[in-house]
Chain A
Amino acid sequence: MTLHLPNRRSLLRAGGAGMLGLSLPKILRGEERTSAIKSRAKSVIFLFQWGGPSQLDTFDMKPDAPDTVRSPYGPIATSAPGIQICELMPEMSKWMDRVSLIRTMTHKMKNHASAGYYALSGHEPPSDDQRLRDSLDLYPAYGSVVDHLMPNTNGMPTFVAYPHVMRDGSVVPAQHASFLGKQHDPLFFLEDPNARDFALPELSLPQGLSVDRLQRRREMQKLIDQQNRMLEYSNQARGFDQYYQRAISMLTSDNVRKAFDLSAEKESIRDRYGRTTYGQSCLLARRLVESGVKFVTVYFSNSIGGRRIDSGGWDTHGFDDTRMYKIVDKYHLPITDQTLPTLLNDLEQRGLLDETLVVWMGEFGRTPDINKNSSRDHWPQCYTALLAGGGVKGGYVYGKSDTHARFPIENPVKPEDLAATIYYLLGIDPLTEIYDLDHRPLIIGGNVVKDVIA
């Protein structure tokens, strides 16, 4: 018994939904193709930087630009010759020889909701519109696509996402399986990994219920089910019964339960990641990939933020008399410089980095021109994504931005290309098609950025 139905079966079910134009041989060919691509990464940790970090104040410094453009912070040399990053990330600078930067991420969505959807799905939204509603006709999350095409068979969930819901007004689409069906939704939770009593309600027995009583309930349920033949002739009923078996094993003793037990970590390790929601979320991500989860999405913050030094995302416009450079230096950059290198280091120490792809990116960058609030606004035309481990090169920069980090001048990369690269590294053909509710064939990714692959 595994957590998810095997690949073949879910494809058959998709076919049974009455779609046209998709015959079994075609599906099988798709499957063969998928397996023909070498899987370089076993897992992905996707660190989504909600709000939109500034490329100019992190990984694409332009010290020679005029002071209306360049960061007030200086660049520092890093472990990778020729690559400079922001001086507020000294720890990160020691890691640049083991990461790839894509400095030419680019698209045209200026709103958080549409850009967020693009970043989380690799699909360009129908319009650049705050009104984009989270509905079943929009594209699923990366992890759900992975769960659909290459589900785990090791008893662990394929896709786990936490500890926030991305929203800016409306909930941002592409945080769940959408038209692929609820069975491909992430194991998602809002509990704070930094809370003292962090535990998943799903993985805890209800209060006052012993394992013995749980077993007694299950035994009686089985007996009742034996009084008719439904488990014999109804696939759905039988499948549901198998979920009970699985859930009970997860509740009693199980790898899943252990994976979520942060208290098993040394205090010193926990401190190193940072006693923040984000820090402990990243530590949990490491535990999860270690126990075999394939796709972990950690959302940086519960809001676009940008106005406080103790919470929120990267959306630093300087509104309401706040100032970007009195915020990112106290909150976003220090947290990033503490947690990200610690995660990479921890993965490396455990021999996991080679098989774990870490992706760090937001939904867009920020304007090269510093605005009248001495801050920066939305800028999707050019921003930076960071990739590490999982088969990507170290000390490598892909793409070249212009002197103000305003536009790509070489090798632009769209979100669908980055999506394709992630799928490819996992061993999934980015040309694989999935079908929406109207049976439209949709390709999961764009062009693989092969140059970043080691």
Chain B
Amino acid sequence: MRRVLVVFLGTFLAHIAFAATPTPIEFSVDVMSVLSKAGCNAGTCHGNLNGKGGLKLSLRGQDPFADYHTLVFASRGRRVTVNAPEQSLILQKATGQVPHRGGARFRSDSKAYKLLKQWLELGAPPPSKDALSVTHLKVEPLQAIVRDPNDSINFKVNAVFSDGTSRDVTESACYEMSNLLARVDANGKVTRAKFGESTLIVRYLDQQVPVPIAFTESRSSFVWDEPAEFNQIDHHVFQKLRRLKVNPSPICSDSVFVRRAYQDVLGRIPTAAEARQFVHDESPGKRNQLIDSLLSRDAMADYWALKWADMLRVEEKVLDVDGVDAFHDWIRASIADAKPIDQFVRDLITGVGSTFQQPAANFYRANRDPSTRGETAARLFLGTRLQCAKCHNHPFDRWTQDDYYSWATLFSQLDYEVGENKRRDKLDKNEFVGDQTVVVSKQDEVRHPNTKQFVTPKFLGGKQLIESQAEQRLGSVADWVTSPENKMFAATQANFVWYHLMGTGLVDPIDDFRLTNPASNPALLNFLADEMVQSGFDLRAMMRLVMSSRTYQLASEPNQTNVNDEFSYSRVVTRRLPAEVLLDMQSDVLGTAAQFAGYESGMRAVQIPGVRRKRLRDERPNGGDRFLQTFGKPERILACDCERSNGTTLKQVFVLMGESLNRRLAEDGNRLQALVDDIDDDARLVDELYWTALSRSPTEVELSAALQMFRTEKRWSSIESVFQSPRTARLRVTEDLVWALLNAKEFLFRR
């Protein structure tokens, strides 16, 4: 058997040797582009981690040499038959002549087929080392607005090669849409499925270009409303809207604004008195005054610390309860003291020492190896997801595996001095108890998984670490990351603020800046990034800038022109409020505290430093804990905002209808009971409850329906007076009314 094989390979190699002279077909260009175009090396097919049906190609053709080997030599060369090209398995499979799970990819009269056949006829020549590479793609047009009645658009793609020549590759390039609003055919013709914005990704070999496309209604009679611009943000937003022939919604009402501003800055709603005062205030600059006064309140630091604590993995199992408290206090204090964001990030990157004494060192306590540290730093500070590049070059971005490990190794010179670590559960190796000291220590650089060689430390997409920087390696990393010249940093931090105030990032998800996920409004993102630098990385200045824009203050109700807008900020996005905010809002309306295992009563949900202070087996979770979990408070195991869930589920409704809220509605000494006793007049009582829960007066219909409830209940109790006093009757109606208020979409959603 072995001999046969050798003989076979021998004849085969002879063919290859014969074909090693220059040929009209270059494997790494011509053949690879056919394989990509047919989808053979897609992540869903043979480009998959495990391949498919026994054949594994490099993902999206990143490695022509490996693919050549796989196709020609692996599996005993059974995939190609140079003596009878048409018998080759790759052609028979791809055309569906033999069963192929992936179906027929092209026909036997197609160009793709002819090219592969020709390549085989030439003896399947290998990729040549000096083959031309593609330096860039020229796509025309580079962005587009397609107006009804037009519903499609064609693109032309030219590849420019390393020798300066270019070739029209419109037919052989690959096309994908970023969402389902449009579809694209094999020749790059994009056709609308729905009105809205989408991005076409054009790919040819290892080059990709994103092309933003907007499909709009014709709106021939469109008239721009000329809304007044409050600041530069509006300028950038409105420029885009005007181009799209979309008018923004009107400015929201005062009662919507006051609620929105409180929710976004403090994570709570105004009291009835605060809401009334603002709404009834006649002064013209009252919105900006409110923004300033909210930004100076203590509670702002509570709420914005929560956002950072989510991403910095402030969680008891790894940091210990004491570490959680120390780290959270430090994050909160950094925000309360208006520490510039660049300084805050510098402290994290250089944070070493005792994790109890030097809280920033908890960053490395939670991220325990160079890969994790590199990934987390890239994600949080540079808005970049590098994970893909751990195992293969990033399929949708420019990052290579080399970039990944060169960056990761910057974080390799760290070690831990672990004390006793008396785990409460000795089996649970995730758990670290007690203090730990993060120390800078001489360690090996990271090894590249393919070459097994130590890699050279390099800043992400930047230069090599030079000798003078090596000594204070973490300081040098911090210098590079937080430098005002580092656009990735400023843009990521600006986008973070924008996302939390507007509900959708200019780049979204916020930690996924990449070539193929461009900003929905690049000019605006640039502007905000510049402002971030100009302001000295001042969080409050950025918040003030965004909140004082007209764009932030728009209503959520759509008009005729912006009903389909999702990414252009022509109206405010409606979204379910975060778990902690919702629970605190309930507590504020009811005047009772929610209970959390391990905390004194009175703790607000947004102030909780960690995730689970008491292990489940030591103390059953309280109503408050269960609420937070059901509504999506993250476990803080991933350094990603995506771990927080703001989705809606049936279970959430069960929680809102269930025992625990019901008990709180009837709890002795809550606000409802006080209000029922203080306010004799039913109409006034209803008015107070509406202002407390919804920051507005009841409408006429609502008021009359509520009063009807009171009348019915009283009539009932006068008949059944034995069972129910008039006070009890009023209380019961109040509970039911407040339940309805707490379950109104207006309460549960930010709008």
Chain A residues with CB under 8 Å of chain B are 3, 12, 15-16, 18, 20-26, 129-131, 133-137, 165, 168-170, 181-183, 185, 187, 201-202, 204, 206-209, 213-214, 216-218, 220-221, 223-231, 233-234, 236-237, 239-241, 243-244, 246-248, 251, 431, 433, 437-438, 440-441, 443
Tell me if A135 and B638 are in contact (CB < 8 A): yes
Q: What are 10 pairs between A and B in contact, CB < 8 Å? A: A15-B179, A169-B427, A202-B654, A202-B658, A206-B659, A221-B739, A221-B744, A236-B574, A236-B648, A247-B653
Smallest distance from the beta carbon of A183 to chain B beta carbons, Å? 5
Which residues from chain A contact B184 at a C-beta distance below 8 Å? 23
Task: Give CA–CA (A223, B657) in the complex, Å.
Answer: 17
B11: Cβ under 8 A from any A Cβ: no
Known: A182-B649, A230-B751, A231-B745. A247 touches B558 (CB 8 A): no
Interface residues on B, range: 35 or more
Interface check B422, CB cutoff 8 A: no
Contact residue among A137, A169, A216, A241 (Cβ-Cβ distance under 8 Å from B745): A241
**CA of A130 to CA of B642, assembled, Å:** 25
* B575 close to A (CB within 8 Å): yes
Inter-chain contacts of B30 with A (CB < 8 A)? none
A435 to B48 CA separation, bound complex (whole angstroms): 12
CA distance A22 to B745 in the complex (A): 33
Decide yes or no whether B402 CB sits under 8 A from chain A: no
| Beta-carbon contact of B744 and A224 below 8 Å | yes
Q: Which residues does chain B contribute within 8 Å of A225, judged by CB atoms?
A: 744-746
- Contact partners of B657 in chain A: CB under 8 A: 206, 214, 244, 247-248, 251
B429 within 8 A of A: yes
Whether B48 contacts A443 by the Cβ 8 Å rule is yes
Stretch in B213-221, B257-265, B589-597, B699-707 with 4+ CB within 8 Å of A: B699-707
Known A-B contacts A135-B637, A437-B642; the reply to A20 vs B201 at CB < 8 A is yes
- Which residue from A12, A168, A182, A441 sits with its C-beta under 8 Å from B427? A168
Query: What 0/1 readout, one digit per residue, does chain B (524-550) give for beta carbons within 8 Å of chain A?
Result: 000000000000000000000000000
Chain A residues with CB under 8 Å of B517's CB are: 18
* Contact between chains at A237 and B574 (CB < 8 Å): yes
Determine the chain A residues whose CB is within 8 A of the CB of B508 once the complex forms: 18
Report whether A229 and B662 are in contact in the complex, using a CB–CB cutoff of 8 Å.
no
Is B308 positioned at the interface, with any CB of A under 8 Å from its CB? no
| B643 cross-chain contacts in A, Cβ below 8 A | 135-136
Residue of B nearest to A221 (CB): B740
B651–A185 contact, CB under 8 A? Answer: yes
Q: Is the CB of A230 within 8 A of B746?
A: yes
B434 within 8 A of A: no
Shortest beta-carbon distance, A424 to chain B, in Å?
14
Residues of B within 8 A of A431 (CB): 101
Cα of A217 to Cα of B176 in the assembled complex, Å: 48
**A311 CB, min distance to chain B CBs, angstroms:** 15
Given A224-B702, A229-B557, are A217 and B740 also a contact pair (CB < 8 Å)? yes
Let me know if A224 and B749 touch, CB within 8 A. Answer: no
Which listed residue, B43, B183, B637, B705, touches A23 by the CB 8 Å rule? B183
B745 touches A25 (CB 8 A): no
Residues of A within 8 A of B638 (CB): 135-137, 437
Would you call B561 an interface residue if the criterion is a C-beta within 8 Å of the partner chain's C-beta atoms?
A: no
The 8 A-B residue pairs whose C-beta atoms are closest, nearest first, are A169-B428, A169-B427, A220-B740, A206-B662, A135-B637, A224-B744, A221-B740, A234-B574
Give the CA-CA distance A181 to B648 in the complex, in Å: 10
A13 CB to nearest B CB, Å: 10
Beta-carbon contact of B183 and A223 below 8 Å: no
B645 touching A21, Cβ below 8 Å = no
Known: A135-B638, A438-B388. A18 touches B176 (CB 8 A): no
Q: Is the CB of A223 within 8 A of B429?
A: no
Complex CA gap A206/B179 in Å reads 43
Contact with A along B495-536 (1 / 0, CB 8 A): 000000000000011000000110000000000000000000
Chain B window 418-445, contacts with chain A (Cβ cutoff 8 Å), 1 for yes, 0 for no: 0000000111111100000000000000
Q: Which residue of chain A has its CB nearest to the CB of B573? A: A234
The CA-CA distance from A218 to B736 in the complex, in Å, is 9
Q: Does B306 contact A (CB under 8 A)?
A: no
A230 contacts B743, C-beta separation under 8 Å: no
A25 touches B176 (CB 8 A): no
Contact with A along B219-262 (1 / 0, CB 8 A): 00000000000000000000000000000000000000000000
Asked if A220 meets B737 with Cβ closer than 8 Å, knowing A23-B177, A201-B658, the reply is yes
- B147 in the interface (beta carbon within 8 A): no
Residue B749 contacts which of A24, A183, A223, A236 (CB distance < 8 angstroms)? A236
List B residues 639-691 near A (Cβ within 8 Å): 640, 642-643, 645, 647-654, 657-659, 662-663, 666
- Check B635 for interface membership: any CB of A closer than 8 A: yes
Which B residues from 383 to 425 make CB contacts under 8 A with A?
385, 387-388, 395-396, 425
Per a CB cutoff under 8 Å, which of B49, B635, B662 touches A135?
B635
Does B659 contact A240, Cβ atoms closer than 8 Å? no
Contacts of A243 in B (CB 8 A): 648-650, 652-653
Which of A15, A217, A241, A433 contacts B739 (CB under 8 A)? Answer: A217
Name the A residues within 8 Å of B516 (CB-CB). 20
Interfacial chain A residues near B431, Cβ < 8 Å: 169
B732 within 8 A of A: yes
Q: What residues of B have a CB within 8 angstroms of the CB of A214 in the complex?
A: 657
Cβ of A20 and Cβ of B739 under 8 Å apart?
Answer: no
Which of B193, B396, B558 is close to A20, meaning CB atoms less than 8 Å apart? B396
Query: Is the CB–CB distance between A233 and B557 below 8 Å?
Result: yes
Give the distance to chain B from A297, nearest Cβ to Cβ, in Å: 17
Q: A438 touching B387 by the CB < 8 A rule?
A: yes
**Which single residue of chain B is at the shortest CB-CB distance from A14?**
B180
**CB < 8 Å neighbour of B178 from A20, A228, A244:** A20
Residues on the A chain within 8 Å of B632, using CB = 182
CA–CA, A26 to B575, complex, Å? 30
B50 contacts A by Cβ under 8 Å: yes
Q: Does B348 contact A (CB under 8 A)?
A: no
Shortest CB distance B526–A (Å):
22
In-complex Cβ contact of A213 among B658, B736, B749 (8 A): B736
State in angstroms the CA–CA spacing of A15 and B178 once bound together: 9
| Chain B nearest Cβ from A434, distance in angstroms | 11
B429→A239 contact, CB < 8 A: no
Residue from A18, A24, A129, A224 having most chain B Cβ neighbours under 10 A? A224
Asked, given contacts A206-B659, A251-B657, whether A22 binds B44 with beta carbons under 8 Å apart, the answer is yes
* Residues in B170-191 with C-beta less than 8 Å from chain A: 176-180, 183-184
Given A23-B183, A236-B648, 12 other A-B residues pairs in contact with their CB atoms under 8 A: A131-B429, A165-B616, A169-B427, A206-B657, A209-B662, A227-B746, A228-B751, A239-B648, A240-B648, A243-B648, A243-B649, A243-B650
Closest Cβ of chain A to B287, distance in Å, is: 21
Do A216 and B427 touch (CB < 8 A)?
no
B275 within 8 A of A: no
Interface centre among A18, A130, A185, A431 (most CB of B within 10 A): A18
B650 touches A247 (CB 8 A): yes
A214-B657, A236-B648 known; A228-B709 Cβ under 8 A:
no
Of A20, A234, A441, most buried by chain B (CB within 10 Å of CB) is A20
CB distance from B404 to the nearest CB of A (A): 14
Question: How far is B43's CA from A22's CA once the two chains are assembled, in angstroms?
Answer: 10
In the complex, what distance in Å separates the CA atom of A81 from the CA atom of B420?
59
Given contacts A214-B657, A246-B650, contact A182 B645 (CB under 8 A): yes
Smallest CB–CB gap between A166 and chain B, Å? 13
Instruction: Write the nearest CB–CB distance from B422 to chain A, whole angstroms.
Output: 14
Indicate the member of B42, B43, B657 with the most A CB atoms within 10 Å.
B657
Q: Do the beta carbons of A202 and B651 come within 8 Å of each other?
A: yes
Chain A proximity mask over B35-49: 1 for CB below 8 Å, otherwise 0: 000000011100011
Q: Assuming A223-B702, A243-B652, is B183 touching A230 (CB within 8 A)?
A: no
* A170 contacts B574, C-beta separation under 8 Å: no
The CA-CA distance from A168 to B428 in the complex, in Å, is 7
Q: For the complex formed, measure the closest distance between the CB of A57 and the CB atoms of chain B, giving whole angstroms.
A: 25
CB–CB B647/A183 < 8 A:
yes
A244 / chain B contacts, CB cutoff of 8 Å: 653, 657, 743
